[in-house]
Amino acid sequence: MDFLLTFFVSIVSISILGIFLLYKSKNYRSKNYTYYFLVLWSMLLAYFNITSLPTNYVFQRIISGSFLIPSIISIFINLKSSDNKNISYKLVVLSILLSVIYLFI
């Protein structure tokens, strides 16, 4: 049980640190690296959510998988236009927060 608590605390702390670095970084290159790290992190969290549920909980697994959608949309927004980077950042943060909250519930 201690391992699960440590695992969850590390997930939350990595998420908070990544979101903080995404918004407080002034350097474009480090902000870009942080953004792509958070995209991969949100996909990993969604994967944790999907695989942590039993196979007969189909509806809950679909909900967990739907947390991938904002991060995938943010990748397309980030690659297509340089004007809407802030929207793509917010979508990744939304995906991470939804995944962490659903992991907690």
Reading the chain (105 residues) residue by residue, the pLDDT tens digits are: 788 889 889 999 999 999 999 999 888 888 989 999 999 999 999 998 999 888 898 999 999 889 899 999 999 998 887 787 889 999 999 999 999 998 888
* pLDDT of amino acid 81: 79
Token pair 């695992």 in the structure block, residue: 7
The pLDDT score that the predictor gives to residue 10 is: 93
Q: Using an 8 Å Cβ cutoff, are 64 and 49 in contact?
A: yes
Q: Residue 45's pLDDT is what?
A: 92
CA distance 9 to 3: 10
Closest of 23, 32, 11, 25 to residue 100, by C-alpha: 11
Q: Residue 78's domain spans which residues?
A: 2-104
pTM, two decimals, is 0.88
The DSSP secondary-structure symbol of 59 reads H
pLDDT at 83: 80
In this predicted structure, what is the pLDDT of residue 86? 87
Instruction: Report the number of distinct structural domains present in the chain.
Output: 1
**d(Cα 50, Cα 91) in Å, to the nearest integer?**
20
Identify the pLDDT of residue 43.
Answer: 92
Structure-token match 């659903």, residue found:
102
Distances (CA, A) of 50 to 1, 34, 64, 90: 20, 24, 6, 22
